[in-house]
């Protein structure tokens, strides 16, 4: 039995639900969105998907109380249309922080005690805000972080021994590549957004990868956003995860003095952004 909840069934949440169905990563999905009609439509379409699959998955609609027995909840509620008219880079934060204020008490009241995977942007800031407002153990609240940025960098650099740490955002730190390639990779998300007006496949498969590691008990180390007690904020570094513990081990890779300086600047950016809530 593996019950996974998804809060926010927009581009990201619905693509993730589809991915989890195809990969049989859950036996039960609890699907939640403030737009009830959207949940109804997604459940209808996912039911059609399940007819083609050899496994069964129970789909549960819009009921926070059903999260009490969930092992994992993915938080991907938001409003991607904000980016159409954004005048500053914190425009999305104002909207998503408000959504956290709505969702956190509901999640707390549900009795949920599993692991949260937080995707909503700005990813590192929202992960901390969600952890603070729910009061959940920060080892059990994980941001999807720079796994997606690392994948984008692999594709841009044409090699696999690369890594992105720090903020899931402009201040991210690309390792083992030239600064030019690092900057190009960081722009990839915006290039996709400029045409599609959202991104979903890359992040949904990254979250599915994190869930695979958790569900199958793989000891794979991933660049995800986790809490650093000394810095008092979330940012990405190599992290080993497990269920139900959450963070098993965080590892900061060996950095040159210049890379260490850039990582500290990235951490400072995340902290300053948190202060804007
Ligand atoms: N971390 C990453 O790498 C990454 C990648 C892509 C997108 N994102 C972020 O994920 C978020 C979602 O993106 P999207 O394209 O799916 O957005 P979207 O606008 O398509 O969908 C958001 C969904 O959240 C729902 N929602 C809003 N407020 C809610 C609430 N209070 N309770 C329940 N549901 C609520 C909306 O009804 C909508 O269906 C955004 O913040 C986006 O920036 C993060």
| pLDDT tens per residue across span 191-246 | 999 999 999 999 999 999 999 999 999 989 999 999 999 999 999 999 999 999 99
Number of domains in the chain: 1
Q: How far is the CA of 261 from the centre of ligand 1 (A)?
A: 32
ipTM tops 0.95: yes
Of 168, 176, 197, 198, catalytic: 168
Q: Give me the mean pLDDT over the 49-62 stretch.
A: 97
- Binding site membership of 127 for ligand 1 (Cβ less than 6 Å): no
Residue identifier of the C-alpha nearest atom 21 of ligand 1: 10
Among 25, 24, 42, 46, residue whose Cα is nearest residue 33: 42
- From the CB of 73, is ligand 1 less than 6 Å away? no
What distance in angstroms lies between residue 159's CA and the mean position of ligand 1's atoms? 31
pLDDT at 188 > cutoff 90: no
Q: Using CA atoms, how far apart are residues 116 and 136, in angstroms rounded to an integer?
A: 9
Distance of CA 36 from the midpoint of ligand 1 (Å): 15
pLDDT in tens, 58-111: 999 999 999 999 999 999 999 999 999 876 668 899 999 999 999 999 999 999
63 lines ligand 1 (CB under 6 A): no
Q: What is the pLDDT of residue 91?
A: 86
Closest C-alpha to ligand 1, atom 9: 120
Buried b (16+ CB within 10 A) or exposed e, 241-274: bebeebbeebeeeeeeeebeebbeebbebbbebb
Q: Is the CB of 102 under 6 A from ligand 1?
A: yes
> 246: Cβ below 6 Å to ligand 1?
no
- Rounded to whole angstroms, how far apart are CA atoms 228 and 250? 9
- Kindly give the distance from the C-alpha atom of residue 120 to the centroid of ligand 1, in angstroms, as a whole number: 6
Predicted TM-score (pTM) of the model is 0.98
55 assigned to active site: no
Q: Is 271 or 188 the better-scoring residue by pLDDT?
A: 271
Structural domain range at position 87: 3-274
- pLDDT for 187: 87
What mean pLDDT value characterizes the chain?
Answer: 96
Share of the chain above pLDDT 90, in %: 92
- Of 35-44, 183-192, 262-271, give the lowest mean pLDDT range: 183-192
pLDDT of residue 88: 66
For the CA of 8, the closest atom of ligand 1 is: 24
What is residue 269's predicted lDDT score, i.e. its pLDDT?
Answer: 97
CATH of the domain at 115: 3.40.50.720
Which protein residue has the closest C-alpha to ligand 1 atom 34?
33
pLDDT confidence band for 41 (50 / 70 / 90) = very high
């Amino acid at each position: 039995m593996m019950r996974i909840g998804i809060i926010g069934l927009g581009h990201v949440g619905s693509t993730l639900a589809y991915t989890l169905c195809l990969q049989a990563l859950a036996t039960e999905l609890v699907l939640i969105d403030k737009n009830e009609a959207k949940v109804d439509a997604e459940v209808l379409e996912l039911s059609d998907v399940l007819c083609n699959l050899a496994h069964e998955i129970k789909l549960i609609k819009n009921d926070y109380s059903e999260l009490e027995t969930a092992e994992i909840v993915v938080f991907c509620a938001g409003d991607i249309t904000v980016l159409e008219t954004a005048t500053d880079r914190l425009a999305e934060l104002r909207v998503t922080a408000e959504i956290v204020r709505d969702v956190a008490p509901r999640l707390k009241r549900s009795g949920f005690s599993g692991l949260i995977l937080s995707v909503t942007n700005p990813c590192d800031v929202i992960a901390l805000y969600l952890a603070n407002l729910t009061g959940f153990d920060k080892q059990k609240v994980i941001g999807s972080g720079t796994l997606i940025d690392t994948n984008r960098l692999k594709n841009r650099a044409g090699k696999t021994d690369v890594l992105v740490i720090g903020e899931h955002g402009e201040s991210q730190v690309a390792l083992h590549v030239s600064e030019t390639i690092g900057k190009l990779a960081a722009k990839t998300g915006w290039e996709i957004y400029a045409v599609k007006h959202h991104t979903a496949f890359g992040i949904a498969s990254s979250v599915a990868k994190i869930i695979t590691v958790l569900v199958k008990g793989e000891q794979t180390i991933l660049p995800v956003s986790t809490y650093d007690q000394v810095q008092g904020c979330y940012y990405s570094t190599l992290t080993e995860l497990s269920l139900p513990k959450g963070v098993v081990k965080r590892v900061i890779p060996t950095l040159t003095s210049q890379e260490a300086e850039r990582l500290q600047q990235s951490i400072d950016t995340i902290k300053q952004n948190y202060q804007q809530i």
